[in-house]
Every structure is written in structure tokens, then in C-alpha cells.
Amino acid sequence: MSANSEKDIPVNIYRPANPFTAKCISNDVLVRPGAVGDTRHVKIDISGGDLRYLEGQSIGVVPPGEDKNGKPNKLRLYSIASTRLGDDLDGKTLSLSVKRLEYQNEAGETIKGVCSNFLTDLKPGEEVKLTGPVGKEMLLPDDPNATIIMIATGTGIAPFRAFLWRMFKEQHPDYQFKGLAWLFFGVPTDTTVLYKPDLEWMAYKHKRHFRYDVAISREQKNANGEKMYIQNRMAEYADELWELLQKPTTHTYMCGLRGMEDGISEFMTKTAAKSDVVWKDFEKQLKKDGRWHVETY
């Protein structure tokens, strides 16, 4: 039985032709002083409509204005960073983790991401048009005793923030997490560990049910004295992770930049080979069983 066979999963309550007009409540800087880049926690008021969502879903954001062809801007999808109850626990808000995209192209011009800059510049009270929600790939299983392995880079932490807040910060009569949640989080510097105080507090308070390992590529070295990437951190627990993957109640989730997939795949291939298993085949079976969830961009 799939994790979500009997769930009421909201999908496309609002469509691009008729989006929901929400309002920004707050826009807080997530990175700490000295960090490269600008990443925000944007909280949005979704009261006054029918919008609802589940942890692991994404929302469409329609930035105002037109593209270079004079057509209205297309929507961009963002993983939702809050639980279904929202950060205020009243079901009336939705939060996003957004990094401002800004880079120099080959001609030396500054290119700005249309939607990320719109969101990171949002001020309280300003409107934002939303569509969705979408996505069934990243939903949590109903089993409160499951093992949940989460692999995130950067703002890919968003759906896992929702998972962990539901597991450890909220009280639910119908859902008390008693399994193991294990987060591997890859970032360039310590100042870019998003939601760091919360993650550390949960790891301290819920030692039996939450493990948290961070890979800081520019500040830590792996066993070979090279940069510490997320797959290097996972390799330190290779045997334990492999054992967990054999359990039918273990779900693995990966979210972040698409580039992370190669490193993880290489690590998994080596780890599986130690047990004479072909990783690609094993991964296929995990996907078929609904236990390997990937959302990269």
C-alpha cells in the first residue's frame, strides 16, 4: 500500500488562469552575518480562500510583470517550508525558503531571477499570486514509526523543515512520531545553515528520534582532505544507512539542486556494491515501493 493511498491530497485548488491572491506577512533573512547570498523565510497569509496543502507539497508563485516576449510571467514552483498548520498553527499561513538568484553572465551583465527576486524583496502587506498546491512525490508516510532519511542542500531544506516541525514542534492527537528522522544537510558555510537554532534544539531535545548531520563544503574536510560534501558526510555512516535502507519502513527524501544527485548516486553505488547489490536496480525497486523520493531543480 502506498504511503498516501487513503489521504485526502489537495492538488491544484488554484490554477494559473485564476490564482489566489495572498499577502506577505513577514520576510526574514535566514542566513547569518558574513554569509554569501541572500536567503529568506517568507511567510504568506492564505486566509480568505480555499488554499490548503500538506507537508512535502509545492506551491506555484506567479511573479508580476511580463517576460522579454511581452507575455505575463510564468509561475515558478517552490517547496513549502511550513506544515499544513502554517507557522502560526492556525492553518492560515504558508512559508517559503527562498534564495535570491543573481549572477553575472558571460557578457558581464547581472542576471536576476525573476521570481526569487520578487519574493526576497516582498514587503509585509504586499500581494503575491499563488497556484496549486502540487506534488505527491514528497509526502510523508502515515506510519509514525517509519525511518525518514532526508538529504538536503541549501533551500532544499524547505520540505524537511515542514516534516520536522510536524514531527517535533507540533502536538497532534492523531500523529506522534516515534520513528527515526535523520537529516543530512549540505551547505557552503556555517553561516548558511538555514534554521540552524531550531535544528540543533530538536536534535538535542529529541535525541532518540532525530539525528542531524551537516556537511559544510568550504569549511570542513572529508576523509581525503578534500571539501566535505553531503555524500562524504553520509559515507561516514555508510553501513548504518545501508542497513536502514533494507527496512521496508524506511523512506529516503532528497531535495535541492539537481547537481547533488550524482554525488549521492556515486556514494550509494559504492555502498551497495559492498553487499554485491547493483544500486540502480535497488533504487528502481525503492522507487517502485514508494520509498525513494526525489525533488531536485
- Pick the catalytic residue from 24, 55, 79, 212: 79
Annotation says 295 is catalytic: yes
- Residue 243 marked as a ligand binder: no
- Cβ within 8 Å of residue 107, ≥6 positions away: none
- Pick the catalytic residue from 97, 195, 255, 283: 255
Element housing 27 (H / E): strand 20-29
The rounded distance, in Å, linking the Cα atoms of 253 and 245 is 12
- Residue 131 marked as a ligand binder: no
Annotation says 200 is catalytic: no
Annotation says 79 is catalytic: yes
- Residue 205 marked as a ligand binder: no
- Residue 79 marked as a ligand binder: yes
- Residue 296 marked as a ligand binder: no
- Pick the catalytic residue from 14, 78, 212, 229: 78
- Residue 58 marked as a ligand binder: no
Annotation says 255 is catalytic: yes
Helix, strand, coil fractions of the chain, as percent rounded to 5: 25, 30, 45
- Residue 72 marked as a ligand binder: no
The C-alpha cell 485548488 sits at 13
- Residue 130 marked as a ligand binder: no
- Residue 97 marked as a ligand binder: no
Annotation says 14 is catalytic: no
Closest CA to 88 of 11, 165, 140: 165
Closest CA to 210 of 177, 186, 246, 232: 177
Closest CA to 257 of 230, 218, 215, 297: 297
Q: Which residues are annotated as a binding site?
A: 79, 99, 155, 187-188, 217-218, 227, 256-257, 295
Q: Which residues are annotated as a binding site for NADP(+)?
A: 79, 99, 155, 187-188, 217-218, 227, 256-257, 295
Indicate which residues carry an active-site annotation: 78-79, 255, 295, 297
